[in-house]
Amino acid sequence: MPAKPVLLSRGQIDAHAWDKHIHHSPQCVIYALSWYLDIVCTQWEALVWPSAADFSIVMPLPVRRKCGVRVLYQPLFCQYLGIFSRHGISTEQCEAFLKALSGRYTYISSYSFNPQNHSILQSVRRLLNGFQWETNQLHWLDLQQPYQELYRRYSKDRKLNLKAGLIMRWEIIGSDDLGPLITLFAENHAPQIGRIKTGAYQTLGRLGRKCIETGRGSLTYARSGSHVRAGMMLARYGGRTIYLFNAADHVGRKGNARAVMLDAYFRENAGLLSVFDFESPSKASIARYYAGFGAVAVLFYCIRRNALPFPLRQIQYLRKWLLVRTRRYLFSGLCRILNPFPKNRF
């Protein structure tokens, strides 16, 4: 790799050229498109190679300032980014991008690489110091097979869930109104997670509307009578459908409404050259639920870095420790008060 990657601000990036590059890269995913990044990021920049005018490798970088420090972070509704190349990535190229990353950011709260980067990152991670590496997993379901084959691979539990859901005779409807989905989440899921910033819902609203307007997304609800009981937002691009957001109330969970909506989508899109991405579940029970549809685990790397000077580094470690302890305390307190939570059966 004869030259170092070039850093570009958002204002220096031509959106058309950028999106064309992402579209034609093997790592292509909707998260990395310019308009998507514009919605979910506070601001973003990028490393490109070999030049700003003619790049063949790019790396989008969401950034924000905290206490005067530039922080690289992973935005909400953006599971992973990483390196996007039209012609493959060599070990030397990957190493150069990571070295440029460490030279630019003393603090990386988290940054996730797309699964297609996993193999090359395995070969270079031992050559680089200063990053904390974490291996996470997604669940992908290949839809390029007949529905009968997809259904055959459902687990026994998932088939029972679906059978019970179909007995409920849910009315499955499409919509362009994200209000009910956000309300379902805010009333039925957010209390178990903790404080959700209002900005997160606003970002989801803008993102969902943009996906629907551009034909890159769909919103589906399960309704019983006049009541919406469950909903899911999907984002579609480049042969991949992402299970971007979902929610259900107690009736929807008990009635397996989301299982019915997912199965309806798989039935309708079976045989297409497409992958359904369940994203990365935070709970083992949810991972098992997704695997029950026949989805397979796919690995990807996440990096962190804290090279802040003293005492900022120690303050940040203390802040994280206190945040984790506080969340655990609040969660255990709610469990004692509400024991038990309604079981999230999805």
Pick 6-135+302-336's CATH classification: 3.40.630.40, 3.30.360.10, 3.40.630.30, 2.60.120.260: 3.40.630.30
Q: In which band, very low, low, confident or very high, does the pLDDT at 127 lie, cut at 50, 70 and 90?
A: confident
Question: Hey, what amino acid is at 54?
Answer: D
Report the relative pairing of strands 107-112 and 132-142 from DSSP bridges: unpaired
Position with higher pLDDT, 68 vs 131: 131
More confident residue, 49 or 1: 49
- For residue 76, give the nearest of 42, 105, 35, 106 by alpha carbon: 42
The residue ranking higher by pLDDT, 65 or 160, is 160
Mean pLDDT of the chain: 89
Intrachain domains 6-135+302-336 and 144-273 with the same fold: yes
How much is the pLDDT for 130? 86
With CA atoms as reference, report the closest residue to 180 among 211, 220, 141: 220
| pLDDT the model gives residue 312 | 54
How confident is the model over 110-119, as a mean pLDDT? 97
Three-class DSSP category at 16: helix
For 159-181, write each residue's pLDDT tens digit: 999 999 999 999 999 999 999 99
The predicted pLDDT at position 319 comes to 55
pLDDT tops 70 at residue 330: no
Which two three-digit tokens encode residue 302?
């996440």
Sign of the dihedral through C-alpha 261, 265, 270, 273: negative
pLDDT, greater one: 330 or 30 = 30
Distance CA 95, CA 49 (A): 13
C-beta of residue 218 within 8 angstroms of C-beta of residue 212: yes
Reported as type and span, the H/E element at residue 213 is helix 198-213
**Rounded distance, CA 236 to CA 174, Å?**
15
* Tokens at 81, concatenated: 């980014």
**pLDDT, average across residues 78-102:** 95
Token representation of residue 157: 């539990």
* CATH no. for 144-273: 3.40.630.30
Instruction: Give the tens place of pLDDT for each residue, 258-308.
Output: 999 999 999 999 999 999 999 977 688 899 999 999 999 999 999 999 998
Q: Where are the chain's structural domains? A: 6-135+302-336, 144-273
pLDDT at residue 321 in the model: 54
More confident residue, 173 or 330: 173
DSSP secondary structure letter of residue 113: B
Q: Given the structure tokens 């395995």, which residue do they identify?
A: 122
Q: What are phi and psi of 306, to 5 degrees?
A: -135, 95
Q: Which residue has the higher pLDDT, 330 or 26?
A: 26
Q: How confident is the model at residue 339 (pLDDT cuts 50, 70, 90)?
A: very low
267 in Cβ contact with 115 (< 8 Å): no
What does residue 87 show for φ and ψ, rounded to 5 degrees? -125, 30
Question: Average pLDDT, stretch 139-167?
Answer: 97
pLDDT at 280: 77
pLDDT class of 326 with cuts at 50, 70, 90 = very low
Say how many C-beta atoms besides its own lie within 10 A of residue 118's C-beta: 15
